[in-house]
Amino acid sequence: MNKKYFLSFALSALMLAACTQQEQPSLPTPASAVSAPVAVNVEEKVLNIYNWPDYVPEGMLAAFEKETGIKVNYDTFETNEALHAKLVAGNTGYDIVVPGSVFAKPQIEGGLMQPLDKANIKNLSNLDPAIMITLVKADPGNNYLVPWAWSFTTVGWNKTKAQKALGNMPMPENAWDLVFKPEYTSKLKSCGIAYLDSPTEIIPAALHYIGKDAYSHNPADYKLAADMLGKVRQDVRIFSATMIDDLAGGKACVAIGWAGDINIAANRAKDNKSNDEIEALLPSTGALIFFDTMAITKDAKHPKNAHKFIEFYLRPENAALMTNTMRYPTANKAAIDQLKPDIASNKSIIVETNYFSKMIPPSSFTNEARAALASAYNSFKKGK
Ligand code: N2P
């Protein structure tokens, strides 16, 4: 995020605040005070949430509505970039949004979020301290963010279809080769290669593949990533936000995606009685961890309801339901013993310690890196 942008954002936010102030009704006179309803602390029974698709267990929102009488409006976005653009434009109308921590950092710094009233969220202590410490990089003091789920960006494949397309070629030692090495992509294009359509997903993976820091501060590294990607561009036909359908529906046989969604696709294929085996792979050089975090927007109209929802979500049984049904690991330590055996034993959902230590933790981009990243991705996608 460039500084000028934030400055102008901050200025318009100030102006907006000034307007809002003017529009507020003046204090009631003693006469009108008699009949004025006590509206001070009462929030309308509404909560507006903006989250990623395929992330909330069926029935969870209805259970919250039933218990609290608060009506939940739930919308979805497909990339961090899309959410970020909305937040920067302002007046989203959303109370809770769920950015990845890489984006949450500049959003907090830019004044787009409000600090949590932690004393009013009693289940916060259920969160895994080890995860909360890693989030301090994005959110010093853990004052703004509560993890919804975490997972990692990796390579997913339809093993059955991909192996057929590869013919005699053995599986590479490093699964990233399947999506980044022309020897493999030139074969796999026949059954479909899908990339997430998000610069901040693809470029860090590409940087990592060429042996650079996935969140490099050096613009020259981004150029190298674009050069590498340019060699496989012609083989990549699907830029997608619908990885689950692409893999489960047979449109793609290999994809750069999120382990959770790839596992949902695997499960869906089974439900559809397909004989194809879909898997989230664990590349030998590591995959890229992400944390998706709930935050309350600066201009949320229903911050109290938002706190109630966060507290509700942090109940162990709700966090466990998310992991058991959506196949994304929870950061709720108190939920771990409620995981179903097939989830707990799936190594691409609950990653083993020795693989975990190989994975790349999320970081953040400098403004300069952000610009280099955007231009690397655009030139890659355009094929120039
Ligand atoms: C979608 C989950 C989003 C994960 N099912 C990527 N942040």
Per-residue model confidence as pLDDT tens for the chain (384 residues): 444 333 333 333 333 333 333 334 444 444 444 455 555 568 999 999 999 999 999 999 999 999 999 999 999 999 999 999 999 999 999 999 999 999 999 999 999 999 999 999 999 999 999 999 999 999 999 999 999 999 999 999 999 999 999 999 999 999 999 999 999 999 999 999 999 999 999 999 999 999 999 999 999 999 999 999 999 999 998 999 889 999 999 999 999 999 999 999 999 999 999 999 999 999 999 999 999 999 999 999 999 999 999 999 999 999 999 999 999 999 999 999 999 999 999 999 999 999 999 999 999 999 999 999 999 999 999 986
Ligand 1: which atom is nearest the Cα of residue 100? 7
Residue 34 lies in a domain: no
Q: 292: Cβ below 6 Å to ligand 1?
A: yes
Whole-number pLDDT of residue 325: 97
Same domain, 189 and 274: yes
Q: 257: Cβ below 6 Å to ligand 1?
A: no
Q: 52: Cβ below 6 Å to ligand 1?
A: yes
Distance 24 CA to ligand 1 centre (A): 39
Distance (Å, rounded) from C-alpha 110 to C-alpha 307?
22
Q: 258: Cβ below 6 Å to ligand 1?
A: yes
Distance 139 CA to ligand 1 centre (A): 20
363 and 102 Cβ atoms separated by less than 8 Å: yes
Distance 258 CA to ligand 1 centre (A): 7
Same domain, 204 and 251: yes
Q: Strand ranges (DSSP E) for 199-237?
A: none
Residue 240 lies in a domain: yes
Same domain, 227 and 372: yes
Same domain, 271 and 156: yes
Strand partners, 152: 289
Distance 150 CA to ligand 1 centre (A): 8
Whole-number pLDDT of residue 41: 65
Supply the range of the domain harboring residue 63. 46-150+290-356
3-state secondary structure at position 306: helix
Query: Cβ neighbours of residue 135 under 8 Å, at least 6 residues apart?
Result: 101, 142, 145, 147, 291, 293
Same domain, 185 and 295: no
Nearest CA residue ID for atom 5, ligand 1? 54
Q: 201: Cβ below 6 Å to ligand 1?
A: no
Ligand 1: which atom is nearest the Cα of residue 54? 5
Same domain, 199 and 317: no
Distance 30 CA to ligand 1 centre (A): 53
Residue 8 lies in a domain: no
Q: Which of 328, 330, 348 to mutate to test the pocket of ligand 1 (most atoms within 8 A of CB)?
A: 328
Distance 29 CA to ligand 1 centre (A): 51
Of the candidates 199, 191, 169, 201, the one whose C-alpha atom is nearest the C-alpha of residue 236 is 191
Same domain, 120 and 171: no
Whole-number pLDDT of residue 252: 97
Same domain, 110 and 259: no
What CATH number has the domain bearing residue 310? 3.40.190.10
Q: Give burial (CB, 10 Å; 0-12/13-18/19+) of 7.
A: exposed
Residue 192 lies in a domain: yes
Same domain, 159 and 283: yes
Query: Cβ neighbours of residue 142 under 8 Å, at least 6 residues apart?
Result: 132, 135, 136
Q: How many structural domains comprise the chain?
A: 2
Same domain, 274 and 302: no
- DSSP letters of 172-203? PSSTTHHHH-HHHHHHHTTT-EEEES-HHHHH
Residue 314 lies in a domain: yes
Q: Which of 52, 268, 293 to mutate to test the pocket of ligand 1 (most atoms within 8 A of CB)?
A: 52
Same domain, 231 and 377: yes
Residue 33 lies in a domain: no
Same domain, 255 and 377: yes
Q: Which of 51, 55, 323 to mutate to test the pocket of ligand 1 (most atoms within 8 A of CB)?
A: 55
Q: 53: Cβ below 6 Å to ligand 1?
A: yes
Residue 15 lies in a domain: no
**Pairing between β-strand 146-158 and β-strand 113-114 as defined by DSSP bridges:** unpaired
Residue 35 lies in a domain: no
**C-alpha dihedral (103, 106, 109, 112), degrees to nearest 10:** -60
> Could you tell me the pTM of the whole model?
0.88
